[in-house]
Each structure stands twice: as structure tokens, then as C-alpha cells.
Amino acid sequence: MARRVRRLRRPRTISRGPRYRAHDSVSSQHRIDEPQRTFDSCRLLSGVASDAPSGAPRQHPGTKSALYSRAADRGDAIPPGNTLRPMGTSEIKPPASSTFDQEQMISLVRFTERTMATDTPVPFGAMVVNTESSQLLVRTVNQASQKNDPTCHAEVNAIRLACRRIKNHLLRGYTLYTTCEPCPMCMGAILWAGLDRVVYGATIEHAARHCNQIYIPASEFVAKSDMHCEVVGPIEAELCYSSLFSHPNMIKRFEIWRSNNR
């Protein structure tokens, strides 16, 4: 009897896109209806990925055309071949122009401002950006109420997502932008994550007009630690306050927060 010879099929080559893409994260209540691709592999927070072309040429972050070409509600997709590994301090070349930080803060304010059209608006947004290349890694907002977790501040959420994205517990080579000066809890997370810089918008005093605060400035917190992180701010403080903290829907939400804390 002839023996059957089993033929092995050659494995099919599967085309894959870039390993990392800019990640916007908002809760389901904060989802904005746009033609965007969803990303939820971590299932930590729901989010939307950038719809910028993956092969788009990068412009130098310091040029005016590069600054104004970034849409306020999207992040740049990372070109294939770029690896987002944590960089050593010697490799870091932070942007010298304060205009760059201003543009990044304006973009974050517009992103956070989208929550004002929902039933659960929040004035606190944060994003992590590659310090050298200016590429957006993640963007998110405060979700303490939605997650029933008081540690889900925007900065902590951004750090958690960023670390999961690059699969590393350290974020050396990255800058964190936040619409409000970080509280001691968030500053502790920023220092332990090894971020190069933190750039904030509104101050603790701005936030204290509407909700409870811990009066320890971010720069003072860093000065009392063994770790280093450049603290820059306030940047676009008035825009952060007028667009987020003073928004009519946010004012109503603050009243609910105050009644729950009594």
C-alpha cells in the first residue's frame, strides 16, 4: 500500500503596520464620533488611534509649518521602522523653543475640551510625547469618576498607557504635558517613571478655585526628591482655565463634585 505524503503548506506572510501608533484615550462617555480606528489591545482604557498616514514625511518640530500642521484633535502616526525605546539622557535633545510647548499645550486643551460636550466633562488632560522626535505616544483625560478609582488622574492614566505601549516601566526620553499642575500623587508617578520633563498649563491655584487641592508645587516636590525632572509651567494657563475650568458645563460639574465631597 502506498504511503501518503503529507504536503506542508508554506506559511503565509502577513503584512503588519507600524508597531506603535499615537493613542488617544477617552472613556466611552467621552467618545467623539469621528472616522477613526479603534485601539483597545491593553483593555485598560478605550481609545482611538491616529488617522494620519503612516508613511507621512516628518517635519522638524521647530519649524512653523510643522507646528501648525498638527490637527488639534489628532496625533501623528509613527512611521514604520521607528522604535520607541527609552533613550538615555545623553540622547535627549529637548526643543529649545517655548513656542513648541505652547503648541503642544493648545493641542492638548482642544483634545480635553471635547469632554465638555459629554455628561461627564473633565478639565484635566495629559499626553506623553517623545522628547527628541516630538511624536505623540498617548493622550488621555482624568477618569476617576468613570473608573471609580481616585488614582485615575490624567497624568497617571497617561503614564500607565505609555508604559504599556512601549513595554517598559521607565519613560526616559519622553515629556508629559498636562492641562493642570500635577498633584503630589501624579508628580510621584512622574518621577518614578523617569520622565525627562513635565509641562503644565493651569496652576494649582487655578484648580483650587473650583475643587480641593494639595498645595505642594510641582517644582518643590521635585526639589525634595533624589530624582530629576524638568518642570516647565505655567504654559497657556489662561487658555487652560478659560476653555476648561471656566466652561459652563464644567462649572455645573464642579458643583456636583463639591456636593459629593461634603
> For the chain, where are the alpha helices, taking DSSP H only?
64-69, 98-113, 144-147, 154-166, 184-193, 204-208, 218-223, 237-240, 248-260
* 47-49 sheet: strands from edge to edge: 38-39, 47-49, 23-25, 136-141, 125-130, 174-180, 197-202, 230-232
Q: Among the options 34, 91, 132, 155, which is catalytic?
A: 155
Q: What is the Cα–Cα distance from 143 to 122, expressed in whole angstroms? A: 8
CB atoms within 10 A of CB 82: 14
User: Does 155 qualify as catalytic in the annotation?
Assistant: yes
Instruction: Find the radius of gyration of the CA atoms of the chain.
Output: 20
Q: What is the Cα–Cα distance from 220 to 187, expressed in whole angstroms? A: 10
Q: Collapse the DSSP code of 56 into the 3-class scheme (helix H, G, I; strand E, B; otherwise coil) and give the result.
A: coil
Question: Which residues form the catalytic set?
Answer: 155
